[in-house]
Structures are given as structure tokens and as C-alpha cells.
Structure 1
Amino acid sequence: MKKPKFYQLTKDERLATLVEQGHLSQTDADCLAAAEPLSDEIAGNMIENQIGQYQVPLGVVQDLLVNQQVYQVPFAIEEPSVIAAANNAAKMARANGGFVTEQLTRLMTGEVVLEKLVDLVAAKAWISGNNDHLFEVARAAHPSIVKRGGGLQKITPTIIDDRFLKLELQIDTKEAMGANIVNTICEAIAHAVQEQLGGTLLLSVLTNAAFESVVIASVTIDPATLTTATLAGKTIAEKMIAASDFAKVDVARAATHNKGIMNGIDAVVLATGNDWRAIEAGVHSYAAKKGAYQPLSSWEWTTDQQLRGRIELPLPVGMVGGSIGILPTVQINQRLLKVQNARELAGIIAAVGLAQNFAALKALVSDGIQKGHMALQAKSLAIAAGATETELTQLLPLLLKATHLNTATATELLAQLRAENK
């Protein structure tokens, strides 16, 4: 008898497989199997007005090859086809050598803004001439991050609109995403500057436009490996490149192009306890940083006629801080990933984004996006209609043959099935 594939196993069988392969400890597997919610004490202290907990499925993308290391990547997501697409892309990329990533800098940015200054030019000059003093203020504001080798790295003063004086602070937050670190340093410097220059302090806070935390991921694919029963691999590759080019000149396509990328990125960011809202804000601002909204990834031919994909985006994720140390499942997911630091995690997430983009473009230019979605969408509709696990086996083939795949059809077919089974 043929051994079932991972996605065909039950949840308990999948967990047992991950334990057997050494990706999860038995303790962590038991914790995931129990699926216990947070205690009311923890949940109530994490947010205000807590009234319950909202459950999102947790899955895994297997054997993602990044920088010659294989990872089991946790996804927290409700959309049916995302993990299936990422798994397929990971498999194809692995057969072609996997993903390669790099991150040149990993700094967070804060902004201190003053207005109503008597002399903007003189104020800017004072900032440039008093860096030593301001760096000392920053060290005193957050000495613990300095002890860990981080802290303020650079101050850049700029006059904006002949009205505002902005101080851009580049801060090394080490293994934390660092919002609190940045905000603490910003506020300390803001008060020191205002005390000297006067004017009105407008704001002192981090920006989610984390353009000093950009990650690049790339993958090279032999077109022959793209071949399907109906299309040559070279044809698919050419159409993927054309679709990528179209996204550069059509903002409507660029938005959907990037949304597909964020399907996977958000899922991993959420699973690892990071702030997906901050990541979304930073990524989309980066896509528009040249004044026109652009796709985050691109595809092209190499000189030796290979298909090469590349993605570039800011990913200021952390390994500590915030909810990361509070949520047990986040800690399990870190152990499942076996990541050592925030840079490594950011590289994996960038590779995931490129994998999702690869899967989406390949589907769009070959079989169409709906083919891969239909079976999973049918299952969701059947469950929403109230089908039991036993009824799903009978109902899904009927749904997939139906003219209209919607809730009404699922409800009607389920009623007919139950009538026949009486």
C-alpha cells in the first residue's frame, strides 16, 4: 500500500511524523495536540476588554531550503490554499537548489520632529555638531540595549517643508523588533533637543517604514522543471516574466501581486509572534518608496536562460519581546523552525514570500488560479454547511461537479445526501 502524503494524514499522525523526524519534541507535540487556549489571566493581561480567544489554524510548510539549510515553517492562516501552494513552491525550489537570502543591515528607525523653531538651519547645525551629547542621552535612556551591543547608531537631521526639523535615528535593537526600545530613545532625545532649541515637540516615535531592515531573497529555476502536461516549461517561464513585468506598469495588478506574497509572510509573522500589521505597513510603504506602487518581486531570464526570481522588502521581525515570550505556541514554533536569530528568521520569511509569488504566478499563467483553489474551497463550504467528517467524503465529489460552487449549493447537496442515507 502506498504511503500517504503528509497532507493526507490526520493531525495526530502529522504531529507524530514531525516528532519522528526530529522537528518537534514529544512535549511540544502534546501541547499542540491539546490545543489549549491561553488562560484568562494571560489573555486578559495582553489586551484590554478581553472577551474570548479567536482561533486560527496552524500548519507547516515542509522542507523549505534557504541558504542550504532545510526548515519546517509554521503558518498561522485561515485561507485554504496558501500552505498547499507554498509546499509546492518549496518542493520545486528545493529541486533547483533552494532560496538564497541576504540582509545587509538590520536597524530600526525612529523620528523626532519639532516645529516652530526660530531658525531651522541653525537648529539643524546644532544637531550635527552635538552628536556626542545626543548619543550619551540615548545610552542613558536604554543602557540594557547598549550592553547587548545595540542602541543608537546614527542621527540624521533634515528640514522638511521649510517648517519641520526631523531627526532620523537609526537604532540597533538586536534580537527584538524593538518598538519600545526605539520609542524610549526617541523620547529621551526629543526632550534633550527641545530643551536646547526650544520650539514645539510634535512627535517622537518609531516609523514602520523600516528601510534599514531590508531582506533580499532569490531563487533560480530551470525552466524544464516547470513543464506541465499541456505547456512547455519555457513557455510558462516566459509568461511568468511577462506577468511580473505587467505588475510594474499596472498598480491594480501590483496590489494583487503583493497580496499573494503577503499571504505567506503574514502567516509566518503571526505564527512567530511578530507584528504583522507593522510588517504590512513597512512592506507596502517600501513598494511605493519611489513614488509609484511597485511589485515587491520580479522575474527575469539569466544569461544562461534560467528563470530567476528576486524579492526585496523590509522585515523587522524579532525573536524576543512583545508577545513572543508570552505565547506558548510561538515558542513551540520557534523550536520547530530551529532559528538562531532574527536575521535568519527574516531570511526565511522573505523566502516564503518569494515562494508564494512563484506559486501564484505559475498557477496564473498555466492552469489558472481557480484550479488549485477549488478542492480546498469546496471543503470549506462543506464544513460551513455543517457536513461531518464522514459526510465530507461523499459531499466533496458532488460539490466539485456542481455548476455553482457556493454555500447554497453545499447546503442543498448535503440535504440531498442526508435524505439518501436515511
Structure 2
Amino acid sequence: MTKLSWTGFSKKTPHERLEHLTSNALLSHEDKEILNSKGLELATANQMAENVLSTLSLPFALAPDFQVNGKDYQLPMVTEEPSVVAAASYAAKLIKRSGGFKTEIHNRLMIGQVALFDVADKATASQAILNQKADLLDLANQAHPSILKRGGGSRDLWFEEKSDFLIVYLSVDTQEAMGANMVNTMMETLVPNLEELSGGQSLMAILSNYATESLVTATAAVDLRYLSRNKEEAQLFAKKMEMASQLAQVDPYRAATHNKGIFNGVDALVLATGNDWRAIEAGAHAYASRDDQYRGLSTWTYDKESQQIKGEITLPLPIATKGGSIGLNPTVQVAHDLLGNPSAKELAGLIAALGLAQNFAALKALTSTGIQAGHMKLQAKSLALLAGAKEDQVASLVSQLLKEKHMNLETAEKLLKKL
């Protein structure tokens, strides 16, 4: 089998990239036509949200050749930020040469909660609820019987006393769906019984986005020779990357930016696949604060014995492949096709791997050339386009902008007039 080459992919035009994908059977002709069209129709968009006026387009890009668990993937990314896709692709290349990403799905359950108040005797109420646990689990399943046919359903029920509240939690296997509506329905169904058993009142019954039962871990290693051809310099870079990782564990100011870089990748793939990036971010930031201090979500260590820099990330990722608006947006369907239509668990692993790749690229840049070196050329390109440069003028204008002392829109406009 001929190995697929991605050399020069970034230099191709969008049309040439699509041809590369279709000619190598990575994209169907039907999907190619969708990407060549306007994507989401206004009539469909009008059914997805209220007071719709139009649709907003964002760049739909590809980070090719990610090796995850021994299999190669082409990751669709929706992002407007320059250098994000390039950084992910660069990291993926080095990590593949060093053995690729490994992922582990710890669990795939969603959590719902009913918050009870005015409970006179929490200990007695807790025991009464515990005695009816099996019946309550069955009642939750009766509220959404179709999930049982697909192998899912309620899995466990427990409770905690917090301040004035007795909070009852339910874990649910939602299969390929994110399951917000499913879990909300189950929790609301339990309310009358829980109120009767506890003698209290329900404040609310709702899904939690803090998905601690949907944890995914991705790991990767990079041989030091890929950090620099100079052995001593490579070792220095590895040590500095390890220290940068430690900094994100002790300083929340650095941790916030460290995690933002991770979400440059995570959000791009979550958005491309039609998932709720707001829920994913909320849960992950809560997870970053799980021990009462906000910390970086990834860690990197320099392994002197293997001469590698090793990274690990664990994220709560209740990712879906069915339900919600996933089936409504044709471009989202193309994204799933590009990925080979993975299961929810497989997709969650890919997202964690992409977040780790993005983090590797950022830390390597920060601890070597600095973050701006990689950004400046792409920033110059953005300025050229904002100034009104046509396609055949962009390269020349970018070249001139990079030589200027002050690279801003005013300078770009002046140089464009000269062109």
C-alpha cells in the first residue's frame, strides 16, 4: 500500500487540497460538493435558533496525518486564529515520528442532579432514598426507554449533603448522544419521588456539565532529536518545556493561558463536529480547579533515560456523534466523514490528542524562539487581507510588511497603495 504524502499540502490552494482528499479516497465527491457550497442553508439555520438573520462562516481547515492508537486520522478544525492549524500539524508530525498518540477512555457517563432543600432530617432522607435506589434507577429508565434498546440507561444514584442542600446525583450512559435532554428528562421524572422520600422540595433538576464520569486521557512522547539537531540544545528545550508545564501547575495566570492554548485545538475539532464547545470548556475549566487551585490541564516531563519529552492530558469530554444539531449541518457531517465516522468515545480520544498536540507546539515555541516568531507571518497575511490586498498581491505585501518596524493596518494600507 502506497504511503499517502502530505508534503506541500499547506502550499496548495483550497481547490487542490480538496482534489488531494478526493483522489486519495479520504473525501467523497458528495462531501466535496458540500465544502464547495455555502454549507448551512438559511432555512435550516432558522430552525436551529431564534431571530435568525443570516449565518456566520468560519475557516474549515484540516490538520492531516495524526496517528492515534496506531491509526492515521485527518482532523477537521474550525478556527479563525492564525497559526493554530499549522502548529497542530507540526506537532502531529513530530509525535507520529516518535510513536504517535495513545488515548484511554476512563468512562462515558453523564451526570444529572436534583437539588433538594428544606429537608428536615438529611440522614433519614438519605437512607430513605438509598432504600429506593433500584426503583429510582428503573423509574429514570422508564422516562427514556429508547436508550435502553441502544444499550444505555441509568447506571448509579448517590447523594451528598452540601450546605443547606441534599443533592441527589444520577449517572447515565447516553451512548452516542451528549444526552442533555435525556438526562434532564430523567431528573425531572425523579423529582416527585425524591421530594416524597426526603420530605423536602426540589430547587432544580438538571444535567451537570462537570462530566467527571467522561474522562479521557491522551499521552504522547517526542524524541529529543526532533526538538533540535544539537543534542545539548534539545536537552535544554526539554528541560524548559518541563519547567513551563510546572509553572502552569503553580501559577493560575500562566495556567489560564496554558489551557487557552489547549482549547485552540479542542474547540476547533469540537466545533467542526457540531458539539457544544461551551459545555466542554465549562467542564474542563471546572476540572482544572478540582483541587481548589486552577491548574494547567496537561503536564510534560523530560525523561532522561529514553531521551524524550513526554506529555499527558486528561479532560472531561462528553462528546457526541448523534443528536442535537449534528445531523442538521451538512458541513458537520463532512467533518464526521473525514474522521471515518468515529464513535463518541473514539472522537473524544481524537479531541484530547489534538489538545495535547496544540499544547506541545505552544510550549516548544514559548521556550525556544518565542511565541511571536510563528505568529508574525500569519499576522502579516491577515493585515494584508484587511488592507484589501488581492490574492496575487498578498505574498508581496506580506514580504514587505515583515521588513517594517511597525507592522499594523495603516502600514499595510500604505504599502498596498505603492503596489
**Does the 8 Å CA contact 2:129/2:197 hold for their aligned counterparts?**
no
1:408 equivalent to 2:410? Answer yes
Match of 1:22 among 21, 25, 39: 25
Aligned letter for 2:23?
Answer: E
2:110 maps to 108
2:379 maps to 377
Compute the TM-score of the two structures, normalised by the length of structure 2.
0.96
Distance 1:306 1:229 in 2: 14
**Does the 8 Å CA contact 1:110/1:207 hold for their aligned counterparts?**
yes
1:47 maps to 49
Give the drift of 1:4.
7.0
1:236 maps to 237
CA-to-aligned-CA distance 1:297-352 (integer Å, 9 cap, x gap): 00113353421100111111000000101111111110101143000000000000
Compute the TM-score of the two structures, normalised by the length of structure 1.
0.95
Which 4+ stretches in 1 moved above 6 angstroms? none
The gaps in structure 2 that reach 5 residues or longer are 1-5
SS at match of 1:102: strand
1:129 equivalent to 2:131? Answer yes
Aligned letter for 1:272?
Answer: T
1:144 equivalent to 2:130? Answer no
1:420 maps to none
The gaps in structure 1 that reach 5 residues or longer are 418-422
Distance 1:33 1:191 in 2: 52
Give the drift of 1:195.
3.5
Aligned letter for 2:66?
Answer: L
CA-to-aligned-CA distance 1:37-95 (integer Å, 9 cap, x gap): 42232111100000111110000000000000000000000001100000000000010
CA-to-aligned-CA distance 1:224-245 (integer Å, 9 cap, x gap): 1210579721111111001111
Match of 1:343 among 334, 342, 345: 345
Distance 2:273 2:39 in 1: 17
- CA root-mean-square deviation: 1.4
Distance 2:123 2:173 in 1: 28
Distance 1:47 1:170 in 2: 29
Distance 2:7 2:65 in 1: 17
Give the drift of 1:27.
1.4
**Does the 8 Å CA contact 2:42/2:55 hold for their aligned counterparts?**
no
CA-to-aligned-CA distance 1:91-115 (integer Å, 9 cap, x gap): 0001001000001211111111110
Distance 1:168 1:190 in 2: 12
Distance 2:417 2:274 in 1: 42
Distance 2:66 2:149 in 1: 35
Match of 1:120 among 119, 122, 137: 122
- The count of residues paired between Structure 1 and Structure 2 equals 413
Show the 5 A alignment for 1:271-286: 271-286=272-287
Give the drift of 1:407.
1.2
Return closer, same or farther for 1:275/1:102 CA change in 2, 3 Å cut-off: same
SS at match of 2:402: helix
Distance 2:144 2:12 in 1: 49
CA-to-aligned-CA distance 1:390-413 (integer Å, 9 cap, x gap): 111221110111111111111121
CA-to-aligned-CA distance 1:245-273 (integer Å, 9 cap, x gap): 11111111111000000000000000000
1:191 maps to 192
Distance 1:231 1:382 in 2: 39
Distance 1:196 1:32 in 2: 55
CA-to-aligned-CA distance 1:195-239 (integer Å, 9 cap, x gap): 443322101001110011010000111111210579721111111
Aligned letter for 2:63?
Answer: V
2:248 maps to 247
Distance 2:373 2:15 in 1: 29
CA-to-aligned-CA distance 1:2-23 (integer Å, 9 cap, x gap): x971111111100000111211
SS at match of 1:367: coil
2:93 maps to 91
**Does the 8 Å CA contact 1:224/1:234 hold for their aligned counterparts?**
no
Give the drift of 1:118.
2.1
1:174 equivalent to 2:192? Answer no
